[in-house]
Each structure stands twice: as structure tokens, then as C-alpha cells.
Amino acid sequence: MTPDVLLSAPRRSSATPDPGGKYAVYTVSTYSFQSHEKTSEIRVIDIVSGQSTLVTADRNASEPNWLGNATGLLWLKEGEDGATDLIFGSVDRVGESYVVGSLPGSISNVKLKALGPRKAAIAFTGKAWQNGTLYNGEKAPKKYTSARLYDQTMVRHWDQYVKPQKNAIWYGVLDASHGKWSLQSTWNALKGTSLESPIPTFGGKDDFDLSFGGLVFVAKDPRLPDAFIAPDLAAGPPAHMSFSTRARKVSLFLAKFPERTLSE
């Protein structure tokens, strides 16, 4: 076993089974020391036979999720302009994928919830501008200096500088009533609030979840300073406490979808 062999070995993600338990989808990434390039694949394995099928070898494809029937998949494709496409494909029709919708920025942590045979709720995360719109680092105004000016105490969180763009959760509806899946309008669930979720720097899919009627997520308590350290509970319980994690106080929030959002 040499370092080259170890580093060029395929790296497989955990497999996610489809609702019927027949297939499981996973990703494979491999680095080649000959071409000095990384390849990425989305593959589906038949749980009974063990046969693996290539769905796409697009190096920009990621985060496959089961959608619709037992063979439908939705995944992300990162564009060169910083935007993200939602792609739908099927295990039965490999090579016949199509674009479900496009988003003007980088997103991740996609979650889906079936609302019916031809409708599903979708939630994902991304950076947001102060006005609540999706942030696109490729199209952001370029700065010609590395100087930073802060008017608050906490200027750095772990190994990252604090930036004006904050994490946010978007939600929307996927509809296939006309034969093909399409993305309807999306909304920033945290727009107009002082909340940020997932919690930087290590927050991700575990910080929120999606249901038929709304979102549940965790966020730092906005009433406390950014550099708040959890109190010593040995002195007695505080008057008010949600729970503490990552040495910061966070609270559990519920965002209810408007009635028209999922019924249209």
C-alpha cells in the first residue's frame, strides 16, 4: 500500500435506499495521479442483486435524493457562474435527465418531503444577502483590498471570518402534474428575522428538518451576544434556557408554511 494507491482509491458515500427498498443511491469520487483530476459519479445499486448502475458521471453533480416513484432521483449540478441546477433523472432511463429548475447561487443540504404522487416539498440551505436573496459568490462585487472593518467584538468564528452573508433555509414546491418535474417559486424562510441556520461553522442537514406543513430548525438565540459562552450550570439552572451546543446557546424554532404555498 503506497500513498498514491491510498489517495487514488475510490471514496464512496453512504447509500440511501429508495422508499420501496429495492435500490440505494450513493456517490463515488476518485482522484487520478495520471491526469491529476478528480472524477465524480452518482450510482445506484440493486440491493438484491448487488448490481451497480451509473446514473451520471458529471463531476459537478452531487447530493442525489429520491423523488417521486421508486426510480426517480433529484440531484444538484453546480454551474460555472455560481448558480445551481436541480436535475431529475431515473434509474430506468439513464441519460435522459433534465433540468427541474435553476437557482441563482450555491445551495446544499437538500431535503425532500412527498406531498402526493406528483408533488413534493423541497428545502435547502445557502448564503443570503442582507435583503434575503440568495448569495452568489461568482457575481458578488469584487473588492480590491483585503482590509476588513468590524463594529462588533466577534470577528472570527473558528477558522472563518464573520461575513455579512448569513446562512438561511429556503423552501418551495416541486410539481409533476404536467408530466415532468418542475420547481415552483422558492422562499427564504428566515427572511426578515435575525436568525441564522444552519449554525456556523459546522451546521448542516442536522440543523433543520422538513415536514408536510413547515420547517423545524435550530438557530443561535438572537437575544444573546455572538460571543456568548454557555454558563456554568453547577451554580443552579438559569431562569431561561433552551439548550447549549457548540459552546453557544441555541433555540428551536418552527416556521409554518403559508396555506397557499403547498396547496397551489
Give CA–CA dist 168/198, Å, rounded: 7
Under a CB-based contact definition with an 8 Å cutoff, are residues 46 and 23 in contact? yes
Residue 247 confidence class, pLDDT cut points 50, 70, 90: very low
The string of pLDDT tens digits covering residues 173-220 is: 999 988 999 999 899 999 999 899 999 888 999 999 998 888 999 998
Residue 245 confidence class, pLDDT cut points 50, 70, 90: very low
Under a CB-based contact definition with an 8 Å cutoff, are residues 88 and 112 in contact? no
State the chain's mean pLDDT as an integer.
86
pLDDT above 90: residue 256: no
Q: What is the CA radius of gyration of the chain?
A: 21
Residue 238 confidence class, pLDDT cut points 50, 70, 90: very low
pLDDT above 50: residue 239: no
**Can you point out the beta strands (E) in the chain?**
11-12, 16-17, 23-32, 37-46, 52-56, 61-66, 72-78, 84-90, 98-103, 107-116, 119-128, 156-157, 160-161, 166-175, 182-188, 208-210, 214-220, 243-245, 248-256
Distances (CA, A) of 97 to 35, 85, 118, 167: 28, 12, 17, 30
The string of pLDDT tens digits covering residues 85-137 is: 999 999 988 889 999 999 999 999 999 999 988 999 999 999 999 999 999 98
Provide the pLDDT for residue 195: 92
Best mean pLDDT range from 54-58, 70-74, 241-245: 54-58
Strand 23-32 and strand 11-12: pairing? antiparallel
pTM value? 0.84
